[in-house]
Homo-oligomer: A and B are copies of this chain.
Amino acid sequence: MRSYRQYCAVAKGLDMVGDRWSLLIVRELLISGDSRYTDLRDGIPGIATNLLADRLRDLEAAGVITRIEAPPPVATAVFRLTPWGEGLREVLHALGAWAGPLLRQQSPSDVLQSHWLAIPAELYLTDHAPDQPPVTLEVRTGDEPMHVVPVDGGARMRRGAAEDPDAVLTGEPPVVLGVLTGRLPLGTARRMGGHYRGDPGVLRRFTPAG
């Protein structure tokens, strides 16, 4: 991207990550950690392979990511956020929180990968009972199951099904997201096709307010 050439923090930040696709690459690395080229391509549907290669070069040159070459036994290289690149978490959280209302309806042409929900969900999820034994909430929507677990005072949303979930939340993505963010009471969510099985306390432990 051509620099804005403005001595301004916002403009300088955009010089680094304002290119199309760049922040979505950062999103994938924030959610999934170290990723191979094909992991990134799969996690960012729509990106052209040449642009992915271009952006990875740009982001590495900017110091946002590093390319970790594989250890000798013919493995494959992975990409990782630098500590500075990790600092973009707050930017993506702010942007995700701002754009949250746009997720209330889902366009038919929108692709959904369940792990993307981790960004808006973790913004709202907490652990209201950190001294209690840990519980697991499985979330089923989109292309793969996810599960929420308490992690030192907060909550994290991880990929995959839970081994022995204490509760399971199912439904269309906007409904599931509404429940997780505390915007939709369970009763309303049920009327919208949502489904909850297990101890309601599990949900209350993680979600805001009521």
Contacts and interface: CB of A to CB of B under 8 A. Distances in A.
What bracket does the count of chain A residues touching chain B fall in?
35 or more
A61 to B, nearest CB: 14
A119 B14 CA distance: 14
Contacts of A98: 13, 84, 87-88, 90-91
A103 interface: yes
A91 B14 CA distance: 12
B106 A9 contact: no
Interface stretch (A65-73, A108-116, A127-135, A186-194): A108-116
Contacts of A4: 24, 46
A173 to B, nearest CB: 6
A151 interface: no
B10 A96 contact: yes
A99 B10 contact: yes
A11 interface: yes
